[in-house]
Chain A
Amino acid sequence: MDELDRTIVNELQGGFPIGDHPFAEVAARFGIAEQELIERIDSLLQRKILSRFGPMYHAERMGGSLSLSAMKIPQEDFERVAEIVNAMPEVAHNYARDHQFNMWFVLATETPQAHVDALKKIERETGYPVYDMPKIKEYFVGLHFKA
């Protein structure tokens, strides 16, 4: 990554404009050509320095449900359970964490009922309880990583 890549990563986390020629608008701010900005973003995506470019939708505001859950799985059964949980299309992320509660996943469903059904299915197929940890309040969501 050079200075220009860093500028793009740092500045465009805050926002990208809506307009007829948004790349040209941003490129002018950075003092580069429109095409160069497009190619840089493309390259940052391909090099996996960026995981996404575009709108970030707020699932709950669109009627969907996005919710964190945790499980306590004995180490010897961990891989079997991970396979079952990962196979569910509703599971968007799943992380192993170093704690007695050692599996943490996010369910993305279109309705609250689909969320409940998915949790029940996981409990039934794995044989372990799921600790549903929906957010009660959200205080902040934002990512400002300095490149």
Chain B
Amino acid sequence: MKAETLIDDIDRRIIRATQSGLPLVPQPYHAVASEADISPQEVMSRMQRMLETGMIRRIGVVPNHYALGYKANGMTVWDVPDDQVDDLGKKIGALEFVSHCYQRPRYLPEWPYNFFAMVHGHDHSEVEQQAQQIAALLGDADRGHDILYSTRILKKTGLRISG
């Protein structure tokens, strides 16, 4: 799917008007409409369409997981046979403590891991238990793994989409 063809100037105006969030007023889509200079009906039908096509993943709240006590953020990385990674990826992605799950390239010999699952726990021991659950699901497909903990946030900005 080529994305550029799916997004036009009106979509871009909606994106610009909502990228810092939805206005906290009783009629937020009407507020977006006046900001983007289009009708509320059009804002709502366009955003509905962007949800259906996956251009908007979802509309809702994003919790700050540190504030909720999820202080241990572990990037678990796995060396899994390439012909099994798709099946296993779907299984691991369905675990409720996994927030992101991807196949990525290896850089042999220093980086043998082709499968990444980001997990979140209250402390390192919880993250280690979660990694054990993943290892159990992978079985023999786990040819080696590691957990990389974040020690410091060096930079964090919202995703900016320029119009």
Interface residues, chain A, with chain B CB atoms under 8 Å away:
8-9, 12-24, 34-35, 38, 41-42, 44-45, 47-64, 66, 68, 70, 82, 85-86, 91-101, 103-105, 108, 110, 131-147
CB pair A53–B60 under 8 Å, yes or no, is yes
Q: For A53, list chain B residues within 8 Å (CB).
A: 21-22, 24, 60-62
CB pair B105–A136 under 8 Å, yes or no, is yes
Q: For B7, list chain A residues within 8 Å (CB).
A: 62-63
Give chain B's interface secondary structure class: mixed
Shortest B131–chain A CB gap in Å is 14
CB pair A52–B158 under 8 Å, yes or no, is yes
Q: For B53, list chain A residues within 8 Å (CB).
A: 61
Interface residues on B, range: 35 or more
Q: For B51, list chain A residues within 8 Å (CB).
A: 18
Q: Does B133 contact A (CB under 8 A)?
A: no
Interface residues, chain B, with chain A CB atoms under 8 Å away:
1, 3-4, 6-7, 15, 18-22, 24-30, 40, 44, 47-48, 50-51, 53-65, 67-68, 70, 75, 85-86, 89-90, 92-94, 96, 98-105, 107, 110-111, 114, 120, 146, 148-162
CB pair B58–A63 under 8 Å, yes or no, is no
Known contacts A61-B55, A138-B102, A139-B102: does B61 contact A93 (CB below 8 Å)?
no
Task: Name the contact of B104 in the complex, choosing from A22, A48, A63, A68 (C-beta under 8 A).
Answer: A68
Give chain A's interface secondary structure class: mixed
Task: Name the contact of A57 in the complex, choosing from B19, B40, B154 (C-beta under 8 A).
Answer: B19
A133–B19 Cα distance when bound, in Å, is: 26
A46–B27 Cα distance when bound, in Å, is: 21
CB pair A98–B148 under 8 Å, yes or no, is yes
Q: For B96, list chain A residues within 8 Å (CB).
A: 144
Other 15 A-B pairs with CB < 8 A, given A62-B6, A135-B104: A9-B68, A12-B61, A14-B58, A16-B22, A42-B24, A49-B63, A53-B21, A57-B19, A58-B56, A59-B159, A86-B154, A96-B151, A96-B152, A139-B93, A143-B62
Task: Name the contact of A99 in the complex, choosing from B44, B148, B153 (C-beta under 8 A).
Answer: B148
